[in-house]
Amino acid sequence: MQPLLECRNVNYSYHTEQGETHALSDISFQVEDGEFEVIVGPSGCGKSTLLSLICNLLVPESGEVLLNGKPVGEHMDFHIGYMPQKDQLFEWRNIYGNVTLGLEIQHCMTADNIQFAEKLMKEYGLWDFRHVKPSQLSGGMRQRAALIRTLVLRPSLLLLDEPFSALDYQTRLSVADDIYRIIKKEHKTAVLVTHDLAEAVSMADKVLVLSSRPARIVKELPVFFDLPERTPMESRNAPQFKEYFNQIWKELSTYAQE
Amino acid sequence: MRRNNLKADSLQDISVLQREFLEERSRHRVFVKVMRIALLIAFLGLWEAATAYGWIDGFIFSSPGRIVRTFVSMVKDGSIFEHVGATLIETVASFVLVVIVGLFCAILLWCSDKLSEILEPYLVVLNSLPKSALAPLLIVWLGANRTTIIVAGMSVAIFGTILNLYTGFREVSQDKMKLIYTLGGKRRHVLTKVVLPSTVPATISIMKVNIGLCLVGVVIGEFIGARCGLGYLIIYGSQVFKLDWVLMSIVILCIIAMALYALISAAEKWYLKRI
Annotate A18-42 with DSSP letters as a single string.
Answer: TEEEEEEEEEEEEE-TT-EEEEE--
Q: Please name every residue paired with A64 in a beta bridge, in sequence order, or none if there are none.
A: A8
pLDDT score, position B10: 52
Does A5 map to a domain? yes
Same structural domain, A74 and A112? no
Shortest distance between the Cα of A158 and any Cα of chain B, in A, equals 11
Does A107 map to a domain? yes
Nearest CA in chain A to B186: A105
Record the pTM.
Answer: 0.83
Single out the residue of A99, A196, A208 nearest to residue A151, CA to CA: A99
Task: Enumerate the domain spans of chain B.
Answer: 2-56, 67-274
Q: Measure CA B100 to chain center.
A: 17
pLDDT score, position A163: 86
DSSP per residue over A93-128, as a string?
A: S-HHHHHTHHHHHTT---HHHHHHHHHHHHHTT-GG
Low-confidence ranges of chain B (pLDDT < 50): 1-8
Same structural domain, A139 and A162? no
Same structural domain, A220 and A165? yes
- Amino acid B111 reads C
If one counts every other C-beta atom within 10 angstroms of the C-beta of residue B271, the result is: 14
- Amino acid A89 reads L
Longest dimension (CA), chain B: 78
Q: Does the CB of B183 have a partner CB in chain A at under 8 Å?
A: yes
DSSP per residue over A171-198, as a string?
A: HHHHHHHHHHHHHHHTT-EEEEEES-HH
| Helix H or strand E encompassing A64 | strand A62-67
Same structural domain, A212 and A252? yes
pLDDT score, position B1: 40
Subunit contact A106:B183, Cβ cutoff 8 A: yes
Shortest distance between the Cα of A222 and any Cα of chain B, in A, equals 29
What is the value of ipTM here, to two decimals?
0.87
Subunit contact A90:B178, Cβ cutoff 8 A: no
Q: Measure CA A110 to chain center.
A: 27
Subunit contact A92:B200, Cβ cutoff 8 A: yes
- Amino acid B55 reads W
Cβ proximity of A209 and A27 under 8 Å: no
pLDDT score, position B271: 86
Q: Which residues of A15-33 are buried (b: 16+ CB within 10 A; e: fewer)?
A: eeeeeeeebbbebebbbee
Same structural domain, A72 and A161? yes
3-state SS assignment for residue B117: helix
B62 φψ region: left (φ > 0), alpha (ψ -120 to 50), beta (else): left
Cβ proximity of B219 and B231 under 8 Å: yes
Subunit contact A57:B181, Cβ cutoff 8 A: yes
Q: A-chain residues within 8 Å CB-CB of B185?
A: 105-106
Same structural domain, A169 and A247? yes
Subunit contact A82:B179, Cβ cutoff 8 A: yes
Helix axes B230-239, B243-274, angle to 10 degrees: 160
The CB-side HSE value for A26 (13 A sphere, CA atoms) comes to 2
DSSP per residue over B114-155, as a string?
A: HHHHHHHHHHHHHHHS-GGGGHHHHHHHH-SSHHHHHHHHHH
Single out the residue of A231, A150, A199, A207 nearest to residue A36, CA to CA: A207
Single out the residue of A70, A150, A80 nearest to residue A116, CA to CA: A150
What is the rounded radius of gyration, in angstroms, for the C-alpha atoms of chain A? 18
pLDDT score, position B5: 47
Q: Please name every residue paired with A221 in a beta bridge, in sequence order, or none if there are none.
A: A207
pLDDT score, position A256: 66
| Whether residue A214 has a cis bond before it, omega within 30° of 0 | yes
Same structural domain, A14 and A43? yes
Single out the residue of B186, B164, B167, B166 nearest to residue B177, CA to CA: B186
If one counts every other C-beta atom within 10 angstroms of the C-beta of residue B255, the result is: 10
In whole angstroms, give the CA distance from residue B99 to residue B105: 10
If one counts every other C-beta atom within 10 angstroms of the C-beta of residue A91, the result is: 12
Single out the residue of A165, A187, A155, A184 nearest to residue A40, CA to CA: A165
3-state SS assignment for residue A213: coil
Same structural domain, A210 and A117? no
pLDDT score, position B225: 83
Range of the domain at A100: 87-155
Same structural domain, A40 and A64? yes
Same structural domain, A70 and A168? yes
pLDDT score, position A43: 80
What is the rounded radius of gyration, in angstroms, for the C-alpha atoms of chain B? 25
Number of domains in chain A: 2
Instruction: Write the residue in B183, B198, B200 that is nearest to A101 by C-beta.
Output: B183
For the stretch A72-96, pLDDT in tens is 877 777 788 898 888 899 988 999 9
Same structural domain, A55 and A108? no
pLDDT score, position B12: 62
DSSP per residue over A147-161, as a string?
A: HHHHHTT--SEEEEE
Long-range contacts at B250-256 (CB < 8 A, ≥ 24 apart)? B251/B67, B252/B84, B253/B87, B253/B215, B253/B219, B256/B84, B256/B87, B256/B88, B256/B91, B256/B215, B256/B230
Helix axes B79-111, B230-239, angle to 10 degrees: 130
| CA–CA distances in Å: residue A27 to residues A24, A35, A62, A66, A162 | 7, 19, 10, 13, 20
Subunit contact B176:A88, Cβ cutoff 8 A: yes
pLDDT score, position B216: 93
Same structural domain, A165 and A254? yes
What share of chain A in percent tops pLDDT 70? 98
pLDDT score, position B11: 53
Q: What is the pLDDT along chain A (258 residues), one digit of tens a residue?
A: 788 888 888 899 898 888 888 888 888 998 988 899 999 988 878 888 899 899 888 888 988 888 888 888 777 777 888 988 888 999 889 999 999 999 999 888 889 999 999 998 988 888 999 899 999 888 888 988 998 999 898 888 899 998 888 788 888 888 888 889 888 888 889 999 998 888 888 888 999 988 888 888 888 888 888 888 888 888 888 888 888 888 888 888 887 664
Q: A-chain residues within 8 Å CB-CB of B200?
A: 92
Q: Which stretches of chain A sit within 8 Å of chain B by CB?
A: 55, 57, 79-82, 84-86, 88, 90-93, 101-102, 104-106, 133, 149-150, 153
> How many interchain CB pairs under 8 A, A with B?
50
Q: % helix / strand / coil in chain B, to the nearest 5?
A: 85, 0, 15
Subunit contact A105:B181, Cβ cutoff 8 A: no
Pick the CATH number of B67-274 from 3.40.50.620, 3.30.1490.190, 3.40.50.150, 1.10.3720.10: 1.10.3720.10
What does the DSSP 8-state code read for residue A215? Answer: B
